[in-house]
Amino acid sequence: MRGVQKMWVGLLFALLGIFAAGSVLAEEGCKSLLQNKCASCHLVNYICPKMESNSGVIYWKWVMHTMIKEGAELSDQESAQLVSCLSSRDAQARSFCPQKP
């Protein structure tokens, strides 16, 4: 009986660890993702005009798919979060771009 209890307790801790790691990823904001994932290859002068074009979800899904094919290392969660940030005109994502005078 104790073996079964230990197994369930171990499983519970493993699941809590997985959820905690997922919440840390979810807490990474749009601006941080853009800096860490997009700006590592692209200049702000390339990214920001595309953001200003107000393209929708379909466009940004295509961009993420293309970037992954080109070698971008994005998890499914990061890709989905970037699509959401870029297509929803997220204020935090917009703060990534320099303000126009």
Domain with residue 65: its CATH number is 1.10.760
Between these two residues, 101 and 71, which has the higher pLDDT value? 71
Segment 49-93, tens digit of pLDDT: 888 888 889 999 999 999 999 999 999 999 999 999 888 877 878
Residue 22 reports pLDDT greater than 50:
no
Contact at 8 Å (CB) between 42 and 51?
no
For the chain, the helix, strand and coil percentages under 3-state DSSP, each to the nearest 5: 70, 0, 30
Q: How far apart are the first and last CA of the chain?
A: 70
Range of the domain at 81: 29-94
Does any domain span residue 101? no
- Computed from CA positions of residues 61, 72, 33, 35, in that sequence, does the dihedral angle turn out positive or negative? negative
Does any domain span residue 34? yes
State the total domains in the chain: 1
